[in-house]
Amino acid sequence: MAITARRPGEEESGVQMSEAAANQKPLLTEIDHIAIAVPDLGAAIDYYRETFGAVVDHREVVESDGVEEALLKVAESYVQLLTPTRDDSTVAKWLNTRGGPGIHHVGYRVADCGEALEAVKAQGFRVLDDAPRPGSRGTTVAFIHPKDALGTLIELVQE
């Protein structure tokens, strides 16, 4: 049976939530990172250091995604500065379409990436990874399609 998701005081949202989803524990445990796509990683790192005193905690090239990241720690989360390493990277395409830097995706921590991914799939939402896969710094990740996630590309991150 499907029940309607509605918070107190809100109008009927029309969003349907399965009974199983309504009864389960929250899948998202923390914000892992906010990813900001930039054309010039060095300039972006300089901006964060000079403006906010934020320094790079981790840097990595992720060949499978065609990106290089610089992670800046903010409390228990990260700002992920992300730049394409090749022209066919989805981040290169996104920067070209958008015409400049901006928030590319949000990474949410989950206890079990496979379990969270299956819960999203079971509700009929499109995902971009059929199964969890390696992310940066040894994480296990999976992406959810932005068109089924309120216009935001979501990355599920298991540390």
**3-state SS class at 104:** strand
* Catalytic residue flag (residue 155): yes
* Catalytic residue flag (residue 33): yes
Given 68, 80, 104, 158, the catalytic residue: 80
CA atoms of 114 and 44, how far apart (whole Å): 33
Contact code string over 79-118 relative to ligand MC0, x by CB under 6 A:
---x-------xx-xx---------xx-x-----------
In the bound state with ligand MC0, the residue whose beta carbon lies nearer, of 20 and 61, is 61
> How far, rounded to the nearest angstrom, does the alpha carbon of residue 67 sit from its chain's CA centroid?
14
Token pair 């599920």 in the structure block, residue: 156
* Catalytic residue flag (residue 80): yes
Contact code string over 5-34 relative to ligand MC0, x by CB under 6 A:
------------------------------
Q: Which of 70, 113, 120, 136 binds ligand MC0 (CB under 6 A)?
A: 136
Put the strands of the sheet holding 28-37 in their side by side order. 56-62, 67-74, 77-84, 28-37, 102-110, 154-158, 140-144, 133-134
Catalytic center residues: 33, 69, 80, 105, 155
